[in-house]
Structure 1
Amino acid sequence: MSILQYFEEQKSGTIPESYRELTREQMEARIVSIKQQLGEKLFIPGHHYQKDEVIQFADASGDSLQLAQLCAANEQAEHIVFCGVHFMAETADILTSDHQKVYLPDMRAGCSMADMANIFQTDRAWQALMELFGETIVPLTYVNSTAAIKAFVGKNGGASVTSSNAESMVKWAFTQKERILFLPDQHLGRNTAYQIGVPLEQMAIWNPIDDKLEYEGDIEDIKVILWKGHCSVHENFTVKNIIDIRQSEPDRRIIVHPECSREVVGLADDNGSTKYIIDAIEGAEPGSKWAIGTEMNLVNRLIHKHRDKDITSLNPSMCPCLTMNRIDLAHLLWSLDSIVNEEAVNTVQVDKETAKDAVTALERMLARA
């Protein structure tokens, strides 16, 4: 899908005002009714970061790749209404069959990190890096990226990664080439490479705005080239947040997502993927105290689910991810109504050529899962 097509979709997906006039109870009752009517023909995956009002109707909750895999495995479902963001719906469409349609209830639901690496920037970067380093680089992309970026990586011998398997995939990449280009999250790339023993001094940054390699020293020493992108939520957890907790509550354990900065990850007691964080809290002793550095909807859900533990956000001023929170009850109901009325809105469809190369990147990762 081109950038132009994407924005055309966004413009066309305007919810009718009548949905805003419904009460929460009316919307919930209609969603329940439609789910019963469509039965196994409908599958609603919901990402961990979604609002509670939406996640209550999810047939499965999880991280983006896990949900896309569940969509692919659910061959009975003709309609997949993905409660997440655009790149997640794209991945679901890539992995599902031709008879299945994928919908995103609100086309404005995106990911600021994924938007920090478009295919035009990436093509320019690759050409420049080939001139500097020749055929010594393999690209990796975090699954939090567009289908076009996944396809680029697949075409150039690379693979996608998740926060759960980033370490094993970076190790694999070093068996393929001397250097790695890691898109689009510099923090996950830096934290992962550092964890397997790559010194910070051997990591450079590619600035896609200036089309420039940022590095001081001999470029022959570079092993990892980090795309200058980040998660706008996780970058807001700071060293000061950790210092404040260490001073006021030294017995509170701090666990963060590896999309946080290297400094924050280095000072935390533990770090890991969304699933890792959920499992850590579930397995923790009753009465234990935790500060969690990840998206607020998930933190609040963990607080309510584990009342036997003392849980707080690492950053008490943190807000939920704005783009992840676009989907609400009204948009979910609108999407379901449109399916029932055979006037489907906000479908997400990746062109076959892009999907083919993107699947290659995903399959290289899944083969090592």
Structure 2
Amino acid sequence: MIPQTLDLMSLALELHEAATHLPSTAIGHQTGRQTADPAIRYCMLVVLLPLLAIPAFICLGKSDFFLHHGASVWVQSNDAIFNFQDRNCDVLVYGDSTAMTGIDPEVVNRETGFKTCNIAVTNAVLAVTGNLTLDHYLKQNTHPKVLVVQLAPDDFQQENRVWRHTIYAEGLLELLRHGSPSESRQVLLSHPHEAIAFAGYAAGFTAYYAIKDVWFRTTHLRAEEDQIQVRNGFFTPPSPARTYCESAAKLNEHSHGDFPRTLADQYRKGYSNRSAIVLVDVAPIPSCDDNLKAYSSQLEGITSNSLQSLPIGLFNDGRHYTAFGSRIVSTLVARQVNEVLQKNPYIDNDNRSIASQPNIPEFHSVSLQR
């Protein structure tokens, strides 16, 4: 693309030089044309430079350089999953960012005795790439005994899978890096506005992190986000605990659309041949959430669990958990896994550590005391 554009610019300049040396008899209005030449050249540059910059910055956005010098910890965690190979995880956690920040594999492993891995991604990746991450993992690694798919109640709403309702750039980056070239081209051409905005996203965040790096070298002060430790796909955002719920648009309490049931069934049926048990869970949300009752009614009988409400102090925003909040969520998931496996004794338990198995009644009430 770049050599072709440079050739066009060279040709334009050659034509310009030839035109300026034509004899006066061949040009009726030479003075007017010479006056217009600088304007034509400027207009060409104005048109050509963005045509060069857009594909160049899109290439920057999909590069390893951007991944390590411009991408957030969320994006880096999403992308790291594609490097997993030959892992043998009994319990595989997938879903949106509520699973990334809510289900700690170490807690589930300790409470169930099963090796647990977390490959959850952000809702933007789900919206743009579907289950590309999960499908890639299952091709490269041993199939799990239990697949836990956890989604926020919002992600059971069809409108939240539309690009304009997500930070779509995170998903587009994953598609460009790991999707098929033909699909990537089709998406870029069918979403020109988002493609141009993605180029700006890549350029802007590269500059932003370059400034942050200069600031660190000058002051030796690191931003909290840069100190996050991602362990087996899990991390806790550094924000402090919330003390209030933000108001949200009301969900119709009597809305029972087909999308939530279809989505849950797609996971259960689509992955039943690659996991002995497929659980499709709804993530706990704050007890002060405006839509708690409506979500509970809509998802009753659809998800593998019931929607739980937790104190707002266990969240650092409306959907992501504090470290203590994640321990509660992880414990709830571990209890669910234990109960399901007790009801399905045909599943091979050879790799299960009997010493680490808890008594199921211990989980029937979860203490919220620190």
Q: What is the TM-score with the length of structure 2 in the denominator? A: 0.23
Larger strand proportion of the pair: 1
Q: What is the TM-score with the length of structure 1 in the denominator? A: 0.23
Larger helix proportion of the pair: 2
Structure showing greater radius of gyration is 2
